[in-house]
Every structure is written in C-alpha cells, then in structure tokens.
Amino acid sequence: MGLINETVQVVSNQQVGPRLHLMVLDAPAIAAGIQPGQFVHMKVPRMEAHILRRPFSVYVRDVEAGTIDILYQVVGFGTDHMTSLQPGEECELIGPVGAVWNPPAQGRCLLVGGGVGAAPLFMLCESIVASDASVDVVLGAQTEAALVCRDRYAKLLGDEPRCATDDGTYGRAGFCTSLVQEALQQAAEEGAPYDYVAVCGPEPLMKIVAGLAADAGVRCEVSMEKRMACGIGACLSCVVDTVDGKKRACVDGPVFDAGKVVW
Amino acid sequence: MVDMSVNLGGLPMKNPVTTASGTFAAGMEYSDFVDVAALGAVTTKGVSLNGWEGNASPRIAETPSGMLNSIGLQNPGVAHLKEVELPWLAQKGATTIVNVSGHSFSEYVQVIEALEDAPVDAYEVNISCPNVDAGGMTIGTDPNSVTEVVGLCRAATNRPLIVKLTPNVTDITEIARAAEAAGADALSLINTLMGMAIDAERRKPVLARVVGGFSGPAVKPVALRMVWECHKAVKVPLLGMGGISNGTDAVEFMLAGATAVAVGTANFFNPHATQETIDGIYAYCERHGVGRVADLIGALEC
C-alpha cells in the first residue's frame, strides 16, 4: 500500500519492564497494511518544541481489532514524554514505511532480537510460523525483567525461545551472541544448517551476528535504526553505509542484506 | 475567488508556495500526500555535476523548535535528475525549480548547461549551503565571488535565475545587491543558519561534522528580518523561507516583502504542510478581502 498519515488513538500505554513501555494504538488503516519489517513515523502530541517525528517498529498488529502495538524504550525526551500519553489521546502516524524482511519460503530460519529489537521480529516470526519454513528464536536482554517479549514468542512457538541476560538472571549469562554461535554450529553439525538469519538490536550485536552468519555461510538480514527526519525518503538524514553507497534506512531499509552493510 | 498567482522574476507561479531545496527531494517521496502540480513550484534537492556522497552520520540533531542538518548535498548527479526526476515532474505537470550546486564556479555553469535541454522552469543557484567544504557558503559570503559566479550562471541561461543567499553574513543586503547586479532575476533566502549541538554526557558533538545548518520554526524571526531588509535593498523579487509551517507564516513573509515562499523543515513533521500553507494563504486573503495575493507583497505597515 502507499503511505498514509493516519490520525490514531491511544488505546493503552503501560510500563512493561525497566524503561520499557507498550503502547497500543487504534490505527485500522495502518494495521491492515503493515508488513513485517515496516515501521510507523509518529508525531507525538504535546511536545511542540520537539518538532520531529519518531520512528517505531510495530511489535504486534491485530487486523480485526485495527490496532498496532509499539514496544518502546525510554531513551530521551521524546520517549519519556510518550509515557505520559493517556488512552484516548490522538497522534499522527505515517505508515507503513520501509522495506520488509525476506525470509525463505522453506528451510530453517533463526531470529535474533536484542533488547527492544525483539519487537520488530515478532511479525516476521508469525509469518514464518505460518509458512513452510521453520524458525528458532534467540532473545537477549540486560536482565530477566527486560525480556518482555519472551512470553509472546513462547506462545507463538509452542516452545521457549533461547534467552540470554547480561546479568544472568534468566537463561544464559552474558550476551546472546554465544547462543547464536551455538545454534549455527549445532544446525550445521546436524546437517540441517540455517538458511536465513534475521537480527534486530543494538548495532554492535547486529554486527557480530552478521559476522557469525557470514562465517557460517548463512544469508542474514538486519534492521537498521538511524536518526530520521522525514521518515519517507526525502531528507537523506538516516543513511546507512553499504557496499552500494549510502542508502536510506527509512525506505531503502530498515531491513538490509547484512552482507551489504559497511559497519 | 482569490487570484493566487505570482511572478517570481519571470517565473509564473500558480500560487506563491514552493518547497525549500533539500526538504522535498524532487517530490516523488511525497506523492502519497501532495499533488506536486498543485504547488506554485517544486524546488528540487541540490544537484551537482557527477553526484556527491554527502557527509558522515549522524547528520541531524533535534534542537528546541528546530533542527540541525549536515547532509552535505548528497545527490546522484545531474544525469540522474534528468533521467528520472525531471521527466516525472514534467509528466505530473509541476512547475520545476532546480537547485544547482557546485564545488567550483565552473561546476555551477556545467550543471546549468547540462539542464538547458531538460524540462526546467527556473534555476536556484545554491551559494549558501553551510555543509560543504568547497562551493556553497564559501562563495555566498563574499560579494566578489557572488558577482563572479552569478555572472557566469547568468551568461549560461536565459531561464529565470534565482540566487539563494546565506544568512551567515554580517550584512545580507550587501550580498543581495551583488547578486542582483550580476543578473539574478530573484533571490531566495534564507538558507540555514550555522549552528551546533553538543552531547554533554559524552563531551561530543551531536553531528559527525560538528556544525550544521539550523532550520525550523525557531529561525523564522531571523528569516523575516532578512527578507524585510532585502526587500528594501533590492528591486528583484524575493523567495522567502525559514521556519514556514503554515499559511500565517507564509503571509508574514509576503508582508515582509517576499513574492513567493518556500516550505522546508515543516515537510518533515507534516507531509501535508505545503498544501496546508497554500490553503492557509487563500483563507487569509478571503478573510481580509484581498483579491490578489500579490497585493500582500511588502504590504507590511510599519
């Protein structure tokens, strides 16, 4: 679908973890059209001196209810202000923006989500579960309380995702990259190597996972986040360095072939 | 009915509203929101001869009621513009102003020469970009350089020639007079103000290039003052810009002396800003019994 600028309503807005909040928005047009990997560009109300919109990936969408869920982490003025939005308040969303994930139609997929990076992979996970491909999920977070997507993934997969926490309060202690390395290795040893890796999270995590996938000869996609102004491809603020030159994170991405990103 | 047409130095515009170069690309990205043919003109992103990579990231910073950018005139070159964007604009029926950039005097001329057989309605010569090391603002702050480059561009085309001025000078009217004397048909102002933002926690600049161009609603008072000064200093028409987000802002610029106006940073937070500005000017004219929008030009009562 083309882009729309939809006036939407906050349905709920609650803290779900340390600095982590979940906002449900009544956004029927965008909910109907958005695809895994795409994002929305939000004009947050009541912060006029902060003029720019904020881009957010969509965690969950419910086409029937006409809602989308945004999982956001408080990192600055804008996201802090967002926590004050009340049910019923209106904001503007441009969407659906950006390139989609490209999982294989068949074969094995590995999804790696670091921190709030678990959210933009969930719709992808749903689509793979519904396809002829299989999927494993690795999630990493600083601490157990920040693994806020774990339950939803477990329900979707019918099994626990593999988890790591920096402080060892849940799953493997340390970064989730060791779980990724093991998963890739194990799959190769079983003679059923992965066909696809998708990763979203802090840039250092994505860089390491992209490297592990490249070493294992597995196609990998990453979702890049950069400072954005227009969010629709015009201003060239959010460029990502690639082997094909500078590309716009908003419309050429946010999903990129990891092999093309110059880290 | 309000007559919304204006004439910007030989460029007929169906209404006074265009886009500030660099905020609208060539309009394709906004086509889900804006009918480019409904605008007075589309002013395209600055184009150089062979294309530029632009600056390192981060390229933007949000600041109170504004923003900084240091894109660095990233563009794919004039051949791409001719092949892709200009035919699209022509097919849509848009009036097109091409913003021309260069690292040297001769590059400006070469870009214009390359565009002379393309569907272009006017040129805007960018001697005011603060984000490149050669060309741009380094030219636009020196009256002698302005005289020379505008003279060379003037000799290269009979099309309307708009010269875009930087506010980063002691006296903008001195630059305005130099551009007018060298043959500019119109002047556009202001380009962005040089600024910077600092992340105190990290003791680092926010922008990779440290400094950048400041734009948005915060700069409007400076831009209005400079349009008003230039209106008194030169006879050529002015294309006013700097923080225009709606019809009221646009009317203020016209009262200060602008013949036309450009919507810039507002496109980033409101993709409908251009059309809303046109509608807002129209509504103002109706409310004030103004039959011709051109009657607003310089109509400030001091």
* Tens of pLDDT, residues A25-42: 999 999 999 999 999 999
Quick one: closest CA in A to B266, which residue?
A: A51
Contact A235 B71 (CB under 8 A): yes
Nearest to A43 among B59, B69, B269 (CB): B269
Cα–Cα distance between B57 and A203 in angstroms, integer? 14
Residues 6+ apart with CB under 8 A from B142: none
- Residue B137 has a pLDDT of 80
B272 belongs to a structural domain: yes
* Tens of pLDDT, residues B138-171: 899 999 999 999 999 999 999 999 999 999 999 9
- Residue B62 has a pLDDT of 97
Contact A5 B58 (CB under 8 A): no
In total, chain B counts a number of residues equal to 302
The three-state DSSP-derived secondary structure of B227-258 is HHHHHHHCCCCEEEECCCCCHHHHHHHHHHCC
CATH 3.30.2310.20 fits A4-97, yes or no: no
Contact A237 B217 (CB under 8 A): no
- Residue A1 has a pLDDT of 74
Contact A236 B59 (CB under 8 A): yes
- Contact list, A51 vs chain B (CB under 8 Å): 62, 65-67, 216-217, 265, 268-269
Band the pLDDT of A96: cuts 50, 70, 90. Answer: very high
- Residue B214 has a pLDDT of 98
- Residue B36 has a pLDDT of 98
CATH fit for domain A106-260, picks 3.40.50.620, 3.40.50.80, 3.40.50.261, 3.30.1360.180: 3.40.50.80
CB pairs under 8 A between A and B: 91
Give residue B280's domain range. 6-296
- Residue A4 has a pLDDT of 96
CB-hemisphere CA count at 13 Å for B156? 24
Distance (Å) from the C-alpha of residue A227 to the closest C-alpha of chain B? 7
pTM of the model: 0.95
- Residue B92 has a pLDDT of 98
Residue A230, pLDDT above cutoff 90 = yes
Chain B positions with Cβ closer than 8 Å to A: 22-25, 29-30, 32-33, 45, 53-54, 57-62, 64-67, 69, 71, 74, 216-217, 265, 267-272
Q: Which residues of chain B have pLDDT under 70?
A: none
Question: Alpha carbon A176 to chain centroid distance?
Answer: 16
Average of per-residue pLDDT across A190-203: 96
CATH number of the domain enclosing B199: 3.20.20.70
Average of per-residue pLDDT across A135-139: 98
B302 belongs to a structural domain: no
Residue A163, strand partner residues = A139
Distance (Å) from the C-alpha of residue A233 to the closest C-alpha of chain B? 6
Cα–Cα distance between B219 and B75 in angstroms, integer? 26
Distance (Å) from the C-alpha of residue A245 to the closest C-alpha of chain B? 8
Q: Where are the domains of chain A?
A: 4-97, 106-260
Q: Please give the structure tokens belonging to residue B138.
A: 């380094």
- Residue B128 has a pLDDT of 86
Average of per-residue pLDDT across A100-118: 97
What residues of B are labeled active site? 129
Split into its structural domains, chain B has a count of 1
B66 belongs to a structural domain: yes
B301 belongs to a structural domain: no
